[in-house]
Amino acid sequence: MTELYYFDNSATTLKKPAAVAEAVYHAIADGQLGNPARGSHTASLNALRLTEMLRKKTASLFGVPDAANVAFTANATASLNMVLKGLLKPADHIITTVTEHNAVLRPLYQLEEQGAALSFVGVDAFGTLRYPDFEQLLRPDTRAVVVNHASNVTGNVADLEWIGSFCREHGLIFIVDASQSAGVLAIDMVKQHIDVLCFTGHKGLYGPQGTGGICLGDRHLAFVPVFTGGSGFHSFDKHYPVQMPTLLEPGTQNAHGLAGLSAGLDYIQQKGLDTICRHLQELTFRFHDQIKDVPGITLYGSFAETVERVPVVSINLEGWSSGDLSDALFMDYAIAVRPGAHCAPLIHQALRTEKTGMVRFSFSSFNTAEEIDYAAKALRRLAEEG
Amino acid sequence: MIDRKHYGIIAFPTSQAAAAAEAIVLDAGRECRLIPMPEQISAGCGLVLQTHLDELNAVRLLLSERSISNDGCYEVRFENRKKSVEGWHD
């Protein structure tokens, strides 16, 4: 089988630590994990203890004040839907940004149809947020700010500490989509004044698909649960429990997947978030520096040396559609990238790539400098071929 | 081994809190178990923390110090095949 040079890690990390696969395998094969909190027998309690251990690890990684404020979900999209629809109301004004993914935009558009008002912070030519917009968009009825930590299109990173301070100053709920940054950048919910953090498990945290979560900060927020069902407690109550984490965890948890996510968090802890972050920055700038002068190339995002980034490099090449270029990379060089639009329509409009899309290279801690050099050479050859 | 005929229990608002309590109590070197919620407290499902009755106050204090809130402490007694659950006060 031909080796695959996989650079589509912003979609999902393909290579996982061996311990993740082993954890999922053993979670099923050993027959020791039952339904968490659905009985007092060993199998049920094993699953309960596993999820509680993972809550503590997750709280530690993101600076969550209380492990009980970590709830597990199927992915970031599920998290964002539960948060946005459970917390925000039709009378609210919400500030968000043009860098958001449809996982944020579409739930917000649903709220807009019910009467909510939306305002969008714009970007400059490099896709960097225009921070003065936050103040200018503020209204008396503004209730929340929803921001992705890092763009899945440009790789630019939002200044959470600045936005968090802005939210605190004006009494706004600060909701962060950490899909691209969890396990890649340092996140501290207290320091960055984050009220709600939504994450997925299958990208930078190296867990299995079907895992993710919601973390709440130290401020009490009144949620209306979007999903209700079995909770393991208060079976005869018509209403679903309002206590965290049960509030955001209706039904049976994905204990088998969470076993894998737990191993993914162990990998990050053992390797060190700083080490991972540094490696990814080196790969990103190594690739950028080798391709920036390829004839006909357009690079998106800010690559100033002082700027924090996630490992995303999106490009277009003159004479190529993004689909054709990605297909040529795959067919001729076994390179896997993502073409087209990236479920983030507003940033494509802002950067005028709604028709062309972009070819996105995105890296993980398993990528090597050799792989980066190979991809850069492949791109240069295709550019020369035309 | 906790006396199965006479023991203390602590109820919690969530399974997560019950599991967190179990970990804290075990870490402190005290004996405890998670057992089904007695129907005398709440008809339905859920877990409570079982302890030695003479350690119930100490366990309650330990959990309080670690910010684990509870939904009540109870004394459970089996006599003549009848189970009684009564609120526990210092």
Domains of chain B by range and CATH?
A: 6-87 (3.30.70.980)
Q: Do B43 and A236 touch (CB under 8 A)?
A: yes
Predicted local distance difference test score (pLDDT) of residue A1 = 57
Q: Do A37 and B47 touch (CB under 8 A)?
A: yes
Within 8 A of B37 by CB-CB distance, chain A residues are 233
Predicted local distance difference test score (pLDDT) of residue B25 = 97
Q: Do B15 and A37 touch (CB under 8 A)?
A: yes
Q: Are B25 and A256 in contact (CB under 8 A)?
A: no
Q: What are the backbone angles phi and psi of residue B49, rounded to the nearest 5°? A: -95, 120
- The three-state DSSP-derived secondary structure of B6-30 is EEEEEECCCHHHHHHHHHHHHHCCC
Q: Residue A340 and residue A354: Cα distance in Å, rounded?
A: 9
Residue B90 has pLDDT above 80, yes or no: no
Residue A196 has pLDDT above 80, yes or no: yes
Encoding tokens for residue A32? 């020791």
Cα of A259 to nearest chain B Cα, Å = 17
Query: Is the ipTM beyond the 0.90 threshold?
Result: no
Q: Do A45 and B34 touch (CB under 8 A)?
A: yes
Instruction: Delimit the CATH 3.40.640.10 region(s) of chain A.
Output: 18-270
The mean per-residue pLDDT over the stretch A223-233 comes to 88
Cα of A234 to nearest chain B Cα, Å = 6
Instruction: Delimit the CATH 3.90.1150.10 region(s) of chain A.
Output: 5-15+272-385
Nearest-by-Cβ selection for B19 from A48, A241, A243? A48
Q: Do B35 and A40 touch (CB under 8 A)?
A: yes
Encoding tokens for residue B73? 């402490």
The nearest alpha carbon in chain A to B15 belongs to: A37
Domain A18-270 falls in which CATH fold? Answer: Aspartate Aminotransferase; domain 2 (3.40.640)
Up-side HSE of residue B21: CA atoms within 13 Å toward CB? Answer: 32
Cα of B36 to nearest chain A Cα, Å = 6
The mean per-residue pLDDT over the stretch A333-341 comes to 95
State percent of chain A over pLDDT 90.
90
**pLDDT-derived band at A385, boundaries 50, 70, 90:** confident
Spell out the CATH class of A5-15+272-385.
alpha beta
Q: What are A87-125's pLDDT values in tens digits?
A: 999 999 999 999 999 999 999 999 999 999 999 999 999
Alpha carbon B68 to its chain's center: 13
Predicted local distance difference test score (pLDDT) of residue B42 = 80
Predicted local distance difference test score (pLDDT) of residue A78 = 98
Q: Do A37 and B43 touch (CB under 8 A)?
A: no
Predicted local distance difference test score (pLDDT) of residue B43 = 64
The mean per-residue pLDDT over the stretch A259-281 comes to 98
Q: What are B13-67's pLDDT values in tens digits?
A: 898 999 999 999 999 999 999 998 898 888 667 899 999 999 999 999 999 999 9
